Amino acid sequence: MTPTPRTRFLYCIPVERTATTLGYFQASIAVACILIVIRFLIMELHAYIRFTSYSHGYMNYDLTFMKNLSWALLILGLCLTMAVFLLVGIEKRRSGYVLTYLIFGVLGTLALAVGLVILCTKYHHFIDDGGVEMLLVIIVYSLSLTAAYFVYRNIKLEKSSNKMINNELQESVCNVEDV
């Protein structure tokens, strides 16, 4: 039994359009968050320069906030890169790009789930600390990852059927006879 390509997601939305929308949405959110983090970094750098210049060399300014913002900028850059991988993989029909997005997406979802478990066990104010929002993000993103998986599977099926067609055409051109 040969697998058939999946054309619909949640029985009504085309799979290709769902995954493309996911890529554009993730890219736009990542760019917006990168701009916000850069704004905060510039404001914090300005405060640091002002503090050190008026304190006459007294360098007791806390830089942990700037370090945390730098880590957030790195993670957001990785999210933007993965969204671009998904979009290029869908447009150019490259299964490796979509697979890279899937691997990082599953790892990111796993990290969110571990963070949610830590949030539940460490703090008693689960609802106030953003636990419900994190749970909703995990559920929606997991569903979106299934759409990306269907696109990956469809690309792999297209590539394998093209190889079979090319092999049959080459055999007919070479006039291979049965012995």
In a domain, 1, yes or no: no
- Checking if the pLDDT of 166 tops 50, the result is no
> Which residues, 6+ apart, have CB-to-CB distance to 40 below 8 Å?
69
Domain count, the chain: 1
In a domain, residue 5? The reply is: no
Residue 131 in any domain: the answer is yes
Alpha helices in the chain (DSSP H): 15-54, 64-92, 95-122, 131-173
CA quadruple 170, 96, 93, 88: dihedral sign: negative
* Residue 85: predicted pLDDT: 95
What was the pLDDT predicted at 60?
A: 57
| Residues 57-91: tens digit of each pLDDT | 555 566 778 888 888 899 999 999 999 999 999 99
**176 has a pLDDT exceeding 70:** no
Residue 38 lies in domain: 13-164
For residue 160, is it within any domain? yes
The Cα 44–Cα 63 span in angstroms is: 9
Residue 39: inside a domain: yes
Give domain status of residue 88, yes or no.
yes
Rounded to 5 degrees, φ, ψ at 155 are -65, -45
The predicted structure's pLDDT at residue 77: 93
119-147 exposure pattern, b = at least 16 Cβ within 10 A, e = fewer: beeeeeebeeeebeebbeebeebeebbbb
Please indicate, yes or no, if residue 6 is contained in any of the structural domains: no
- List, for residues 119-157, the tens digit of each pLDDT value: 778 776 666 667 788 888 899 999 889 999 999 999 999
**Rounded CA gap, 51 and 41, in Å?**
15
Do the domain assignments include residue 41? yes
Q: Which of 125, 133, 150 is nearest to 7 (CA)?
A: 150
Tens-digit pLDDT profile for residues 84-116: 999 999 999 999 999 999 999 999 999 988 888
Q: Does the structure show a pLDDT above 90 at 161?
A: no
How does the average pLDDT of the chain come out, rounded? 81
